[in-house]
Amino acid sequence: MISNSIVYIVLAASILALAFAFIFYKQMMKQDEGTDLMKKIAAHVRKGAMAYLKQQYKVVIIVFIVLAAVFGVMAYFKLQNGIVWFAFLTGGFFSGLAGFFGMKTATYASARTANAARKSLNSGLKVAFRSGAVMGLVVVGLALLDVSVWFLVLRCTKLLELVGANADMVTITTTMLTFGMGASTQALFARVGGGIYTKAADVGADLVGKTEYNIPEDDPRNPATIADNVGDNVGDVAGMGADLYESYAGSILATMALGASAFATAATQAAGEQLQMKAVIAPMLIAAMGVLLSLIGIFLVRTKENAGMKQLLGALSRGTNTAAILIAVATFGIMYFLFGNPTNIEELKAIYGGDTDQQKFTEFYFNNMWWLTSLSVVVGLLAGVIIGKATEYYTSQSYKPTQKVAESSKTGPATVIISGLGLGMLSTAIPVVTVGVAIVLAYLCANGFDLNFEAASLQRGLYGIGIAAVGMLSTLGITLATDAYGPIADNAGGNAEMSGLEPEVRKRTDALDALGNTTAATGKGFAIGSAALTALALLASYVEEIKIALHRVAMVAADGSAEITKGVRWTVEQIQDANLISFMDAYNVNLMNPIVLVGIFIGAMMAFVFCGMTMNAVGRAAQKMVEEVRRQFSTIKGILEGKAEPDYERCVAISTKGAQREMLVPSILAILVPILTGVILGVPGVLGLLIGGLSTGFVLAVFMANSGGAWDNAKKYVEEGNFGGKGSDNHKATVVGDTVGDPFKDTSGPSLNILIKLMSMVSIVMAGLTATVHLL
């Protein structure tokens, strides 16, 4: 018998993850931080990063208080249940905590990595990677902690009464889903604010330092160089962590909700209730197993002394690939444990009823669902791998596309930009087709290749899409480690440069850094792909939430019914009996409804406008940085000769202030537009908005990430001595490309991941309002 107790396994896995994170952290802290200068520089960066985070949390806390108050008011008017406001806060708190720990570790690790690299490449890699693993493990640990504890609390305590009088599994899981909005909101500010911070500093530092004064990257004479290094931590560690925390938690929560509703019919009887419970627990168990396998993978990452780039990449790949292969195998085991050898086939046949054919299909389905659903997980895993490889192909200088961008520098910066944009646009094909095929395959596997579009079949298929997302993200513990490793290595390089370490050490940190660029690119592809699948799973949950909201409305209404659309009212019973398809019909959510189409248009527009805002934000903040750096160069005597110290703090303050100011408007827009769309256009408009934002946002995000990555590496390719090498006109042309690419790949592109998930989350939380108030 499956019971709540199995969830303690999940809890245990989360504590395991946190424990190892703590061990890795302690191990890292034991390392020597190097020379006094190294320590001083690291302290500068750490101070700047913490100052920024503190500032950001101040703003975020205000937003959280306001939103929690809104949810409180909604609960008072029965537009939302009484637990969401508090759960929202826990989601935000845990996500913020993960960012805080991850960044703290990263800022302590950079000097230590540089110092370890003085010994050997392997030591450097180990310190950097294990410190990255702290981030990965904290994220999965805290996310699983939040999910499992809430599940246990709601199942075992009186708190459930706050959710609703007769709260069944569907209501519990859908309510839990709304907790995700806390993580989303936190992630939004982390990604947008962090992204603006890091690129304002980077662009500002490059424009004056590299272009006007011809001094190298990370040169201590450049006043913006500390801010630049702070930015890597703020944007690439804390921002990326919050982003993936949200995807991870979101995919698990959404799949639990989808599982609950997919087997809600069966759950009306005892035998089926077990089935439903298993479907809800499955994503948690897969994630828990993923934690274990990620740990194994992390321990596998080591390399020989004097390893080349290839060996380094091999070392990381060994870890991630082993974890991925093992989780694929383990999934079949978990699913067999849960769904293998069903004993209640006859009961289920009775529940699902129908003619002989249907009876036969029911028997076939429940006898085989353990491996069918496992296949969906494998589909998700494979999709993640393919997207990662495609990203690598389009953005690494080892391949043709990026080399061609580098070659186009022969005719100046304009052609570098044109070819980089062209590359990015073309590069959307493989990820989109991959996700498309993955959606169809995950859907068909999980519903037994049933092409009939009936409610039961549809919901099983959607559960498959959700669990594919869980599969893709299950080894996040290690994939995020390879991601967070990048900025640590980057900062280590910066520290080595600024501390004037020996060329040999610089070469080693450069090798570590170059590796980080590749993993960052694949990490970005992965973050986008998982965001797309998660958002897709959230779509179905939105309809589920609308159902619950209508139910709540109808329960308190005088006549016991709720308005669906103009002139159509459903009673409590009708609402209870309705399924996804009947809601689609009732709300006319089809492609001939102009309101749906307008929603899609607005969603597509939102992706562009959001990017435009963040692009301009970087431009404005960088402008201020440029002015400050120019001012320091011209007023502080001896700064260029290295005799006087630049005023680093001022640049840090400028980036901090700029990021804070600039992140507000796009963030608020992302929260307000779904609400307004709901109030004006109603449910069909919201669904259109979400789909439009998701599709366009996904493609736009891939385009921007890959264009940016290709420009970055095209510059590196020229610096490696091709097409004239460093200092040539061609090099200058590629620097222009790189600078344009900075906000592409590190601000606007990644922020889109959040946008598409957050808009879904906001819609889900606001479903009660949309279901009650809508103009059209």
State which of positions 695-754 bind a second copy (CB under 8 A).
695-696, 698-700, 703, 735-736, 739-740, 743
Q: How far apart are CA 575 and CA 228, in angstroms?
A: 55
Q: How far apart are CA 675 and CA 27, in angstroms?
A: 47
Given the complex with a second copy, which of 329 and 433 has the nearer CB atom?
433
Residue 595 burial class via C-beta count within 10 angstroms: exposed 0-12, middle 13-18, buried 19 and up:
buried
**Residue 638 interacts with a second copy (CB under 8 A): yes or no:** no
Please report, as residue ranges, which positions from 242 to 261 form the binding site for a second copy (by CB under 8 A). Answer: none
Please report, as residue ranges, which positions from 152 to 211 form the binding site for a second copy (by CB under 8 A). Answer: 203, 207, 211
| Rounded to 5°, angle at Cα 633 from 629 and 638 | 140
Q: How far apart are CA 737 and CA 88, in angstroms?
A: 41
Q: Shortest Cβ distance from residue 673 to a second copy (Å)?
A: 11
Q: Shortest Cβ distance from residue 774 to a second copy (Å)?
A: 10
Q: Shortest Cβ distance from residue 174 to a second copy (Å)?
A: 16
Given the complex with a second copy, which of 136 and 603 has the nearer CB atom?
603
Q: Any idea what DSSP says for residue 474? A: T
Q: How far apart are CA 81 and CA 106, in angstroms?
A: 39
**Residue 605 interacts with a second copy (CB under 8 A): yes or no:** yes
Q: H or E element: which one contains 164?
A: none
Please report, as residue ranges, which positions from 507 to 546 form the binding site for a second copy (by CB under 8 A). Answer: 536, 539-540, 543
Structure tokens belonging to residue 73: 């008011």
Please report, as residue ranges, which positions from 463 to 492 form the binding site for a second copy (by CB under 8 A). Answer: 465
Q: How far apart are CA 719 and CA 716, in angstroms?
A: 5
Q: Any idea what DSSP says for residue 571? A: E
Q: H or E element: which one contains 565?
A: strand 561-565
Which of 37, 588, 647, 650 is the binder for a second copy (CB under 8 A)? 588
Q: How far apart are CA 313 and CA 398, in angstroms?
A: 13
Given the complex with a second copy, which of 99 and 674 has the nearer CB atom?
674
Per-position x/- string for 671-690, each x denoting binding to a second copy as judged by CB under 8 A, each - no binding: ----------------xx--
**Residue 113 interacts with a second copy (CB under 8 A): yes or no:** no
Pairing of strands 568-571, 561-565: antiparallel
Q: Shortest Cβ distance from residue 337 to a second copy (Å)?
A: 28
Which of 185, 251, 419, 660 is the binder for a second copy (CB under 8 A)? 419
Q: How far apart are CA 403 and CA 92, in angstroms?
A: 42
Which of 91, 241, 388, 424 is the binder for a second copy (CB under 8 A)? 424
Which of 2, 619, 653, 661 is the binder for a second copy (CB under 8 A)? 619
Candidates 85-93, 214-222, 301-309, 588-596: pick the segment binding a second copy (CB under 8 A).
Answer: 588-596
Structure tokens belonging to residue 210: 């590299």
Number of residues located near a second copy, criterion CB under 8 A: 92
Given the complex with a second copy, which of 407 and 497 has the nearer CB atom?
407
Asked if residues 275 and 263 have their Cβ atoms less than 8 Å apart, the reply is yes
Q: Shortest Cβ distance from residue 514 to a second copy (Å)?
A: 23
Per-position x/- string for 566-585, each x denoting binding to a second copy as judged by CB under 8 A, each - no binding: xx------------xx--xx
For residue 425, CA distances in Å to 419, 428, 455, 524, 706 come to 10, 6, 37, 16, 8
Q: Shortest Cβ distance from residue 566 to a second copy (Å)?
A: 4
**Residue 72 interacts with a second copy (CB under 8 A): yes or no:** no
**Residue 549 interacts with a second copy (CB under 8 A): yes or no:** no
**Residue 664 interacts with a second copy (CB under 8 A): yes or no:** no
Q: Shortest Cβ distance from residue 602 to a second copy (Å)?
A: 6
Helices 84-119 and 240-262, axial angle in degrees (round to 10): 130
Q: Shortest Cβ distance from residue 102 to a second copy (Å)?
A: 29
Q: Shortest Cβ distance from residue 611 to a second copy (Å)?
A: 5
Which of 79, 87, 618, 679 is the binder for a second copy (CB under 8 A)? 618
For residue 771, CA distances in Å to 549, 588, 597, 611, 666 come to 7, 14, 19, 30, 26
**Residue 622 interacts with a second copy (CB under 8 A): yes or no:** yes
Sign of CA dihedral 498, 23, 97, 180: positive
Residue 505 burial class via C-beta count within 10 angstroms: exposed 0-12, middle 13-18, buried 19 and up:
buried
**Residue 359 interacts with a second copy (CB under 8 A): yes or no:** no
**Residue 214 interacts with a second copy (CB under 8 A): yes or no:** no
**Residue 596 interacts with a second copy (CB under 8 A): yes or no:** yes
Candidates 29-37, 245-253, 378-386, 456-464: pick the segment binding a second copy (CB under 8 A).
Answer: 456-464
> Given its phi and psi angles, is residue 563 left (phi above 0), alpha (psi -120 to 50 degrees) or beta?
beta
Which residue, among 483, 408, 456, 321, has the nearest Cα to 711 in the 3D structure?
408
